[in-house]
């Protein structure tokens, strides 16, 4: 795989320097041997809140340094605990008379290195307390649990209490209560792909991992790939069985493990909203990358059982931009304005026309993947889906169409496409059928009406024949019909027009004008190819 890196042994150092363009953050001048990110405005007048661990989990931990959260963060190598001296440096740099709290995730390296650094700091006369976060419930409550994104609840509440001037003892007690009130579960479609390294996948395309770690280690259980709603339900069922309070109110962290796209994360939130647990969620942090695992295609859900103290601290402002709390509610609706009826005409029967529409609609659905693949070579890869959506809609409503009235049928097709089809192709075809329907009502000649409809497409869209669009197939086919030539000849004209787009490599209009000759050569325009196949299907009936 390709990554945006320079030298693999400098990834962490360079990433920290990128983070430090934030003018409110600084690094200790022992960097890079000791990687400590600290608040530039810190004056040691309050309890210091310090955390850290291996890198690769960005924005955690350094991305949460700021007023109202962490005082300092120690960054180890990717997935490796920072050294004892690095942790001790952070303690010495940040700790004043009020002491400091170390927030540790429950991994052996972190417990050992942070623990030894705490002992050394105490020997130097500093007041240091530690808490260890173990929110992962993948294996239940009877085993040593790992620290996951629930750690961020501890960062936020401890950081706010410190900001309010609470004592170290008070903050440590509250932090432990947060840990005891937090539970997390994760699920991933892929493992981690390490930066600058070859990774051999342990999962097939039909497998996902439930109960993931955040260091590339295997999940607790391999389960079958399924739709998002089913995968979410599987994860949340396990979480619900281990909740810290069965009937309480919760805040939730909805965490992206690194490479899940924003649209998928929103879809996953929708999947979560369908679970029973969603009824108990008052606040959500995310969805977004909060404690990632480099580029794992997975998510985790962490919940915190709320009380008055926790809720107040969570809602208090915090400086780090990665921390944003919003109220959580199930999707709401408001009244929609009344639009013109999609199908304003009474249905009428015509078996021949119905068969034609059903066959064309079935074709559009059947060739979706093929046309998407073709479009991916010269466009954005969704042309097949656009036409397939129109096909599915026609399949659903064909019996309700005015099949025995050509003019009304054309107008209705225009309205259906305007309402249901996406992309420029859907809109242009809507214009075509609407204008053709209007023309047919004045002069009931289908070929001539389609030519007039196509002229409106050209007027509004701007493209002409030769610009490598579906017009290259539509125009010769419609002109053939206007001359009363057979459907077979019209289909051949459409095919010739579509095939000719393979040779059109220099245009001044549309997306093809943005592409090089090398990309366009020998690739037909996807829209023109669909039109040719539609005419070939009609001619075969």
Please give the class, per CATH, of domain 8-327.
Answer: alpha beta
Q: How far is residue 414's CA from residue 429's CA, in Å, rounded to a whole number?
A: 7
What kind and span of H or E run contains 180?
helix 168-180
What is the reported pLDDT for 510? 59
What are the helix and strand counts (H, E) for the chain? 18, 13
CA dist 166 to 49, 65, 158, 306, Å?
A: 12, 19, 9, 20
Strand-strand pairing, 250-256 and 207-210: unpaired
Looking at the whole model, is its pTM more than 0.85?
no
**Do 51 and 65 form a contact (C-beta atoms < 8 A)?**
no
Judge if the upstream peptide bond of residue 414 is cis by omega within 30 degrees of 0.
no
What is the reported pLDDT for 166? 98
Q: Is 359 exposed, middle or buried (0-12, 13-18, 19+ CB in 10 A)?
A: middle
Cα–Cα nearest to 114, from 50, 36, 39: 50
Q: Where in the chain is the domain with CATH 1.25.40.340?
A: 351-540
Helix (H, G, I), strand (E, B), or coil: what is residue 255? strand
Helix (H, G, I), strand (E, B), or coil: what is residue 242? coil
**Do 64 and 36 form a contact (C-beta atoms < 8 A)?**
no
**Token pair of 479 as six digits:** 């002109």
Q: How far is residue 10's CA from residue 1's CA, in Å, rounded to a whole number?
A: 18
Cα–Cα nearest to 539, from 483, 481, 499, 482: 481
| Helices marked H in 291-367 | 308-315, 351-366
Q: How far is residue 211's CA from residue 234's CA, in Å, rounded to a whole number?
A: 11
What is the reported pLDDT for 515? 59
Helix (H, G, I), strand (E, B), or coil: what is residue 356? helix
**Do 24 and 46 form a contact (C-beta atoms < 8 A)?**
no
Residues with a known catalytic role: 215
Strand-strand pairing, 281-288 and 221-224: unpaired
**Residue matched to tokens 């105490």:** 122
DSSP string, 71-92: SEEEEEEETSPPPHHHHHHHHH
What kind and span of H or E run contains 188?
strand 182-188
Strand-strand pairing, 100-105 and 48-55: parallel
| CATH hierarchy code of domain 351-540 | 1.25.40.340
Within a 13 Å sphere around the CA of 127, how many CA atoms are in the beta-carbon half? 13
Q: Where in the chain is the domain with CATH 3.40.50.10440?
A: 8-327
CB count within 10 Å of CB 42 equals 17
The tens-digit pLDDT sequence of the chain (541 residues) is 889 999 999 999 999 999 999 999 999 999 999 999 999 999 999 999 999 999 999 999 999 999 999 999 999 999 999 999 999 999 999 999 999 999 999 999 999 999 999 999 999 999 999 999 999 999 876 667 899 999 999 999 999 999 999 999 999 999 999 999 999 999 999 999 888 887 778 899 999 999 987 887 888 899 999 999 999 999 999 999 999 888 899 999 999 999 999 999 999 999 999 999 999 999 999 999 999 999 999 999 999 999 999 999 999 999 999 999 999 998 888 888 887 788 889 999 999 999 999 999 999 999 999 999 998 887 777 889 989 999 999 999 999 999 999 999 999 999 998 877 666 788 899 999 999 999 999 999 999 999 999 999 999 988 899 989 999 999 999 999 999 999 999 999 999 999 999 988 777 665 555 556 666 778 899 999 999 999 999 999 9
Q: How far is residue 345's CA from residue 397's CA, in Å, rounded to a whole number?
A: 13
Instruction: Say how far residue 485 (Cα) sits from the centre of its chain.
Output: 50
């Amino acid at each position: 795989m390709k990554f945006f890196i320079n030298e693999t042994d400098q990834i962490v150092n360079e990433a920290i320097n990128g983070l430090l363009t934030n003018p409110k953050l600084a690094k200790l001048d022992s960097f890079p041997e000791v990687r400590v990110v600290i608040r530039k405005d810190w004056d040691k007048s309050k309890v210091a809140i310090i955390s850290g661990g291996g890198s690769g989990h960005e924005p955690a931990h350094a991305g949460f340094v700021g007023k109202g959260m962490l005082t300092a963060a120690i960054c180890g190598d990717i997935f490796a605990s920072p050294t004892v001296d690095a942790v001790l440096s952070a303690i010495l740099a940040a700790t004043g008379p009020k002491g400091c709290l170390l927030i540790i995730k429950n991994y052996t390296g972190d417990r050992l290195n942070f623990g030894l650094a705490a002992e050394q700091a105490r020997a130097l006369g500093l007041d240091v307390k530690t808490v260890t976060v173990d929110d992962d419930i993948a294996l239940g409550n009877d085993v040593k649990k790992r620290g996951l994104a629930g750690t961020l609840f501890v960062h936020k509440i401890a950081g706010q209490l410190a900001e309010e001037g609470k004592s170290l003892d008070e903050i440590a007690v509250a932090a432990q209560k947060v840990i005891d009130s937090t539970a997390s579960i994760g699920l991933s479609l892929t493992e981690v792909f390490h930066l600058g390294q070859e990774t051999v996948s342990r999962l097939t395309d039909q497998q996902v991992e439930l109960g993931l770690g955040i260091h590339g280690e295997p999940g607790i259980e391999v389960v079958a790939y399924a739709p998002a709603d089913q995968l979410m339900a599987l994860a949340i069922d396990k979480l619900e069985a281990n909740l810290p309070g069965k009937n309480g109110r919760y805040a939730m962290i909805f965490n992206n493990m690194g490479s899940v796209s924003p649209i998928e994360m929103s879809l996953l939130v929708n999947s979560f909203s369908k679970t029973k647990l969603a009824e108990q969620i008052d606040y959500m942090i995310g969805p977004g990358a909060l404690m990632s695992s480099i580029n794992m295609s997975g998510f985790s859900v962490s919940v915190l059982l709320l009380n008055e103290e926790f809720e107040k601290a969570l809602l208090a402002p915090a400086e780090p931009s990665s921390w944003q709390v919003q109220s959580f509610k199930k999707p709401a609706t408001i009244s929609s304005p009344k639009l013109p009826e999609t199908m304003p005409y009474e249905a009428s029967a015509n078996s021949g026309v119905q068969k034609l529409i059903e066959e064309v609609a079935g074709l559009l659905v059947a060739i979706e993947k093929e046309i998407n693949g073709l479009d991916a070579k010269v466009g954005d890869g969704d042309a097949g889906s656009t036409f397939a959506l129109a096909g599915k809609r026609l399949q659903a409503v064909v019996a309700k169409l005015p099949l025995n009235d050509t003019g009304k049928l054309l107008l209705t097709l225009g309205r259906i496409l305007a309402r249901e089809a996406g992309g420029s192709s859907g809109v242009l075809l809507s214009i075509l059928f609407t204008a053709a329907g209007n023309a047919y009502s004045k002069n009931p000649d289908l070929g001539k009406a389609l030519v007039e409809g196509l002229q409106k497409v050209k007027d509004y869209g701007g493209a002409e024949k030769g610009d490598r669009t579906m017009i290259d197939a539509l125009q010769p086919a419609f002109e053939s019909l206007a001359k009363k030539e057979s459907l077979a000849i019209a289909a051949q004209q459409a095919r010739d027009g579509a095939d000719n787009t393979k040779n059109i490599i220099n245009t001044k209009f549309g997306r093809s004008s943005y592409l090089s000759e090398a990309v366009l050569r020998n690739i037909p325009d996807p829209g023109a190819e669909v039109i040719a196949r539609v005419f070939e299907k009609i001619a075969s009936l």
